């Protein structure tokens, strides 16, 4: 007889509470899908970079300038993530490379399932199934995208000079999970109280292995080292 | 706001577990949310309260969140230090470059169901 309510179930099949030990990451499904994406991207011959920053740090501008500089020597593809609009994809399409836009319909980050869909859409674009490098521009947000592996090989976090140098301390996960930290819009340094050295030091404190570079897409300062970095990733891939 | 989508995934998983074990009601859900997981515990709890009420299975479920303090590691000598805040320097070798170790877990530890 069941002690709890006196019904005639045997104890082993009782409707008593049962504790199930699970010990599984809530991100397990995403992580599994990300692994599939990584294999898919490698089969395309590409390496993928996941670009994370606040809105307006200059991700799309950096991509436009990168395509202008490297579009003839590398096969570049782009997946754009945005909450609404197709605008960023239109800017990239104007540069003549395969691109698709994922609109998250309100969600503040891309996840691996969306990228999986995106890879299939991209394959239908002219040249979208054979690439050297795939850039994924995440939704402008320094918090949520950091939690989701998309299947990228390389993650970069970008902070522009007007945002201030305290971002690493405030958004540790993005810096902790990235291999590259880009400080953008350095042409604006004369107008803002931003110490490049302080920002670098904060990022290194969180992640001693992170590579740091600063550049301006407008003046072209520091751009050479970024392009070298991109070429280097492709040759490693 | 990604806490909403994480909680949605959790509720799907709870539905599957209940099905597997032939249970009808979730009593408690215990999660470990690491301090560096990028998840805001308050937002997670808020999302859980909002979404769990939508199904009979989880309507009365209680969420328990465990959040152990982060684990730091000295880049000089490798000493591991568990503390709420980043130590200024290593107590052993005085190195000031100190990194974190893991502490970004987002785990469903256990579920109590009936
Ligand atoms: N001064 C200066 N402005 C820049 C630079 N790079 C981008 N901008 C400007 O910054 C604004 C935002 O640039 P985007 O490239 O659209 O930024 P984004 O990160 O793609 O923005 P979201 O996709 O909305 O998150 C635009 O007005 C750019 O012209 C730069 O190096 N220097
Ligand atoms: Mg953009
Ligand atoms: Zn969010
Ligand atoms: Zn030490």
Domain that holds residue B64: 2-68+103-113
Give the Cβ contact number of residue A158 at 10 Å: 24
Q: How far apart are CA A136 and CA A116, in angstroms?
A: 12
pLDDT band at A84 (very low <50, low <70, confident <90, very high): confident
A86 lines ligand 1 (CB under 6 A): no
What's the mean pLDDT in A159-177?
A: 93
What's the mean pLDDT in B49-64?
A: 96
pLDDT tens, B82-108?
A: 998 888 899 999 998 888 888 888 999
For residue A211, count CB atoms less than 10 angstroms from its CB and return exposed for 0-12, middle for 13-18, buried for 19 or more.
middle
pLDDT for the residue numbered A6: 52
Q: How far apart are CA B67 and CA B82, in angstroms?
A: 12
Give nearest CA residue, ligand 1 atom 10. Answer: A58
**How do beta strands A76-82 and A133-137 pair?**
parallel
Q: Is residue B51 part of a domain?
A: yes
Q: Where are the domains of chain A?
A: 11-236
Q: What are phi and psi of B46, to 5 degrees?
A: -60, -45
In this complex, do B2 and A143 lie within 8 Å of one another by their Cβ atoms? yes
pLDDT band at A237 (very low <50, low <70, confident <90, very high): low
In this complex, do A146 and B23 lie within 8 Å of one another by their Cβ atoms? no
What are the strands, taking DSSP E only, across B15-78? 26-33, 62-66, 71-74
User: Is 90 exceeded by the pLDDT of residue A70?
Assistant: yes
pLDDT tens, A72-81?
A: 999 999 999 9
What's the whole-number average pLDDT of chain A? 92
The pTM is what?
A: 0.88
- Find out whether A111 and A32 touch, Cβ atoms under 8 Å: no
Q: B112 touching A, CB under 8 A?
A: yes
What is the DSSP annotation of A35-66?
HHHHHHHHHTT-EEEEEEESTTSSHHHHHHHH
Q: Is residue B27 part of a domain?
A: yes
User: Is 60 exceeded by the pLDDT of residue A19?
Assistant: yes
Q: Which residue has better confidence, A164 or A14? A: A164
Q: How far apart are CA A42 and CA A38, in angstroms?
A: 6
Q: How far is B42 from chain A (nearest CA, A)?
A: 15
pLDDT tens, B11-53?
A: 999 999 999 999 999 999 999 999 888 899 999 999 999 999 9
Q: How far is A177 from chain B (nearest CA, A)?
A: 10
A66 lines ligand 1 (CB under 6 A): no
| Ligand 1 atom nearest to CA at A80 | 23
What's the mean pLDDT in A112-139?
A: 96
pLDDT for the residue numbered B1: 66
**Start-to-end CA span in chain B (Å):** 31
User: Is 50 exceeded by the pLDDT of residue A2?
Assistant: no
In this complex, do A173 and B38 lie within 8 Å of one another by their Cβ atoms? yes
As residues whose CB is below 5 A from the ion ligand 4, the structure lists B 74, 76-77, 79, 90, 92-93, 95
Q: Is residue B29 part of a domain?
A: yes
* 24-53 of B, contacting A, C-beta below 8 A: 27, 31, 36-39
Q: How far apart are CA B24 and CA B113, in angstroms?
A: 7
Q: How far apart are CA A212 and CA A156, in angstroms?
A: 10
Structural domains counted in chain B: 1
What's the mean pLDDT in A177-189?
A: 97
Q: Is residue B83 part of a domain?
A: no
pLDDT band at A205 (very low <50, low <70, confident <90, very high): confident
Q: How far apart are CA A52 and CA B54, in angstroms?
A: 33
A185 lines ligand 1 (CB under 6 A): yes
Q: How far apart are CA A34 and CA A40, in angstroms?
A: 10
> Which residues pair with residue A212 across a beta bridge?
A181
Kindly report the CATH number that applies to the domain delimited by A11-236. 3.40.50.300
Q: Is residue B44 part of a domain?
A: yes
Q: Is residue B23 part of a domain?
A: yes
User: Is 90 exceeded by the pLDDT of residue A42?
Assistant: yes
pLDDT for the residue numbered A11: 46
């Amino acid at each position: 007889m069941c002690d709890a309510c006196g019904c005639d179930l045997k104890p082993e099949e009782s409707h008593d509470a049962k504790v199930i030990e699970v010990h599984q990451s809530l991100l397990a499904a995403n992580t599994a899908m990300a692994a599939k994406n990584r294999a898919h991207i490698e089969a395309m011959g590409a390496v993928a970079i996941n670009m994370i920053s606040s809105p307006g740090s200059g991700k799309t501008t950096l991509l436009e300038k990168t395509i202008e500089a490297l579009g003839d020597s590398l096969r570049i593809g782009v997946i754009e993530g945005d909450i609404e609009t197709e605008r960023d994809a239109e800017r990239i399409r104007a540069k003549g490379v395969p691109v698709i836009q994922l609109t998250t319909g309100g969600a503040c980050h891309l996840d691996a399932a969306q990228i999986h869909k995106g890879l299939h859409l991209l394959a239908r674009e002219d040249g979208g199934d054979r690439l050297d490098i795939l850039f994924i521009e995440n939704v402008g947000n320094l918090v949520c995208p950091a939690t989701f592996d998309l299947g990228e090989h390389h993650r970069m976090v970008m902070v522009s000079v007007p945002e201030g140098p305290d971002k690493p301390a405030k958004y540790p996960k993005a810096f902790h999970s990235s291999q590259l930290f880009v400080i953008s819009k350095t042409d604006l340094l004369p107008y803002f109280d931003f110490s490049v050295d302080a920002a670098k030091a904060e990022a290194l404190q969180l992640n001693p292995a992170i590579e740091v570079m600063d550049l301006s897409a407008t003046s072209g300062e520091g751009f050479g080292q970024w392009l070298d970095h991109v070429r280097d990733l492709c040759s490693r891939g | 706001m990604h806490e909403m989508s994480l909680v949605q995934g959790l509720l799907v998983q709870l539905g599957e577990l209940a099905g597997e074990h032939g249970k009808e009601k979730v009593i408690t859900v215990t999660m470990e949310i690491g301090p560096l997981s990028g998840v805001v515990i308050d937002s997670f709890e808020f999302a859980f309260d909002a979404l769990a009420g939508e199904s009979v299975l989880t309507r009365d479920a209680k969420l328990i969140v465990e959040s152990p303090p982060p684990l730091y590691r000295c880049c000089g000598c490798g000493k591991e230090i568990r503390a709420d805040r980043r130590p200024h320097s290593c107590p052993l070798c005085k190195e000031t470059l100190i990194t974190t170790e893991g502490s970004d877990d987002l785990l469903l530890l256990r579920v109590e169901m009936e």
